[in-house]
């Protein structure tokens, strides 16, 4: 029987490599001799086996079920797919990224040192010790855990590659760039919501009256009436206080907030939600600003890594064994209480810092 092959896109994780996005597929066609029945996909000279895919799929599925319960599998996606399909897509994305990272590490001649190899071996040993023989058989694993060891080694190499590619990215991030402000506001909405949840804009005449009311409320605040009491009496937002940095709020609201001094009250500011009177509580939250600097640094490093990664995969044409993927099923075995594959890696590498040569 001839296997169905289709092209797939290679995944790239964003920011702190936690949120999945996809790079664009190239138009270049790479001819291969076809994929074996035990291969899920191939990219370059690297392929992912059904055993590796099954391990990732099981780990992701267990993680979801531990949070949402068995009802998770009954959730309607509304897209003609099932939650199992979604877990397959995520497993495929994570595993394909791992294989591409292995290829990219070879471009930089990166390898694991003895300490890192021992760490991978420890993780593999711990995972295999957590499984019964029946569970290992259900996952299609060899009793010596060779497949698990290889995946842990590839994950460590992936982390090492990332650290190598971002080692020189240390931009200066100013207080102003990372500044977090805290404000309170009063909102008068310029729309209503009908019983079906549809938004309905009020008329221009009603908006004029509402704007005048906002000006009156602002005057009361300027005259010294408690802003908290005015919020309670007039605001139509369920939240009164916001702390945020640049690029996080609607532009007009953000611009106004960042121009205010502590305790200063704004003019009536217009957003898509309505009319706002804003009071500045703090022009710079020191702790939050310092934390935001770290967040921005991680973003800059991820962007730098992404440029290299995207350039590397641009001409690749990975292939997917669609028939095997479609027929792949979750492990039909009670693994309740088993230590999870990805959890062990996270625990053992929590304090791990890759050794990077200059």
The whole-angstrom separation of Cα 304 and Cα 165 is 8
3-state secondary structure of 146: helix
- pLDDT band of residue 116 (cuts 50, 70, 90) is very high
> What tens digit of pLDDT does each residue of 117-176 get?
999 999 999 999 888 888 888 888 898 999 999 999 999 999 999 999 999 888 889 998
Residues 25-31, mean pLDDT to the nearest whole number: 35
Q: What is the pLDDT of residue 337?
A: 52
Helix, strand, coil shares of the chain, percent, nearest 5, are: 50, 15, 35
- pLDDT band of residue 339 (cuts 50, 70, 90) is low
CA distances from 120 to 29, 161, 307, 314, 334 (A): 35, 16, 28, 30, 26
Read off φ and ψ for residue 4, nearest 5 degrees: -80, 130
The whole-angstrom separation of Cα 271 and Cα 269 is 7
Q: Which residue has the higher pLDDT, 211 or 169?
A: 211
CA angle 118, 119, 121 (to 5 degrees): 60
Q: Which of 296, 301, 294, 44 is nearest to 164 (CA)?
A: 301
3-state secondary structure of 291: helix
> What tens digit of pLDDT does each residue of 53-84 get?
998 998 888 888 878 887 888 887 777 788 88
Class of residue 343 by CB neighbours under 10 A (exposed 0-12, middle 13-18, buried 19+): middle
Q: Which residue has the higher pLDDT, 135 or 269?
A: 269
pTM of the full structure? 0.72
**How many CB atoms sit inside 10 A of residue 77's CB?**
10
The whole-angstrom separation of Cα 282 and Cα 122 is 49
Asked whether 254 and 244 are in contact (CB, 8 A), the reply is yes
Q: Which residue has the tokens 């009793």?
A: 143
């Amino acid at each position: 029987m001839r296997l169905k092959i289709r092209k797939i896109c290679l995944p790239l994780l964003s920011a702190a490599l936690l949120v999945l996005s996809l790079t664009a597929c190239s138009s270049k066609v790479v001819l291969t001799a076809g994929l074996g029945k035990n291969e899920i996909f191939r990219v370059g000279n690297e392929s992912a086996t059904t055993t590796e895919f099954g391990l990732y799929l099981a780990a992701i599925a267990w993680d979801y079920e531990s949070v949402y319960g068995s009802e998770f599998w009954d959730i309607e996606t509304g897209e003609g797919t099932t939650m199992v399909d979604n877990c397959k897509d995520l497993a495929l994305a994570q595993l394909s990224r791992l294989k591409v990272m292995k290829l990219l590490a070879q471009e930089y001649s990166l390898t694991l040192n003895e300490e890192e190899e021992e760490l991978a071996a420890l993780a593999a040993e711990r995972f295999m010790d957590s499984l019964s023989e029946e569970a290992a058989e259900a996952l299609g694993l060899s009793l010596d855990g060779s497949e698990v060891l290889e995946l842990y080694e590839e994950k460590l190499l992936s982390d090492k590659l990332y650290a190598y590619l971002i080692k020189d990215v240390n931009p200066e991030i100013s207080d102003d760039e990372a500044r977090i402000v805290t404000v309170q506001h009063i909102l008068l909405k310029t729309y209503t919501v009908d019983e079906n949840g549809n938004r309905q804009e009020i008329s221009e005449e009603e908006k004029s009256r509402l704007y005048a009311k906002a000006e009156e409320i602002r005057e009361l605040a300027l005259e010294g009436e408690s802003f908290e009491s005015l919020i309670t009496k007039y605001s139509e937002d369920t939240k009164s206080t916001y702390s945020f940095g640049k690029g996080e709020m609607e532009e007009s609201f953000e611009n106004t907030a960042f121009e205010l001094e502590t305790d200063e009250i704004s003019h009536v500011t217009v957003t898509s939600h309505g009319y706002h009177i804003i009071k500045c509580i703090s022009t710079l939250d020191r702790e939050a600003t310092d934390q935001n600097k770290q967040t921005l640094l991680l973003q800059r490093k991820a962007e730098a890594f992404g440029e290299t990664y995207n350039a590397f995969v641009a001409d690749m044409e990975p292939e997917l064994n669609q028939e095997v993927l479609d027929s792949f099923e979750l492990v039909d075995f009670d693994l309740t209480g088993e230590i999870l594959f990805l959890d062990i890696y996270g625990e053992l590498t929590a304090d791990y810092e890759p050794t990077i040569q200059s």
